[in-house]
Structure formats: C-alpha cells, structure tokens
Amino acid sequence: MAKRRHLQCPYCENYLRNPIDLNFKSLEITGGMCPCGAVYVLDRTGHNLGEIYMDALQFVCKGDIDRALELNPEDYDSIEYDYDDKTNSTGKSGAKGKLSKLLFVKLLK
Ligand SMILES: [Zn+2]
C-alpha cells in the first residue's frame, strides 16, 4: 500500500482543509491557501495539469496574471501530489487515473 497522509502544507507542515471552489478575480479554481503563502489547486481529473499550473501561478500572485507570466522558474517552487478527496489525504501512489492531482506553489521571494 502506498503511504498516505492527511493534507498538509509541504512548506510549513500546517494541516490544510479540503480544497474548496473559489472565485478569485478572473480565476475559478478549486483549492486553497496556506498561512505561509503557499497555494494549492486541485485538478480533479488528474489530466489537466498544464492549465492548473497557470491557475496556481496566477493564484499565488493574487490574481495578477501579468506578474504570473513574468515569473521565472527560480522564482517559485511547486510540488505535485496525488490527492484523495474522500479522505483529504495525499500520497504518491501508483493508482492509475483514479486520483486527482493537487498542485502546491509557493513564491520563493
Ligand atoms: Zn504552508
């Protein structure tokens, strides 16, 4: 069995609540924000990570898409998890197609 654990911020280890539907400026995402400044965005299908990535970058820039587009790879860090919304847990499992993906992004400066 793959190791699973409760949803937790990878940067500060805060326990986080389930991703929720958010309307933030022009963004419509399912996710949330950690008090440390990291954001997380859910990709329910697990097949749409490119789009989710841009949404997450825009979200972490507080909706400022121009700033999001100007970010360099060294300006932020990102971590991707498999996510199970029934248990609000994350893990690196081998399950195919079943799990959603949860993308964390944090600005480094
Ligand atoms: Zn955090």
Q: pLDDT at position 91, please?
A: 74
- What does the pLDDT look like over 64-98, one tens digit per residue? 999 999 999 999 999 998 898 888 888 765 555 56
Rounded distance from Cα 47 to ligand 1 centre (Å) = 25
Q: pLDDT at position 44, please?
A: 87
Q: pLDDT at position 6, please?
A: 87
Confidence at 1, pLDDT banded by 50, 70, 90 = very low
Q: Which residues pair with 6 in a beta bridge?
A: 89
Rounded distance from Cα 13 to ligand 1 centre (Å) = 6
Strands (E), 1-109: 4-6, 20-24, 27-33, 39-43, 76-84, 89-91, 100-107
Confidence at 15, pLDDT banded by 50, 70, 90 = very high
- What does the pLDDT look like over 28-50, one tens digit per residue? 999 999 999 999 999 988 788 88
Rounded distance from Cα 16 to ligand 1 centre (Å) = 8
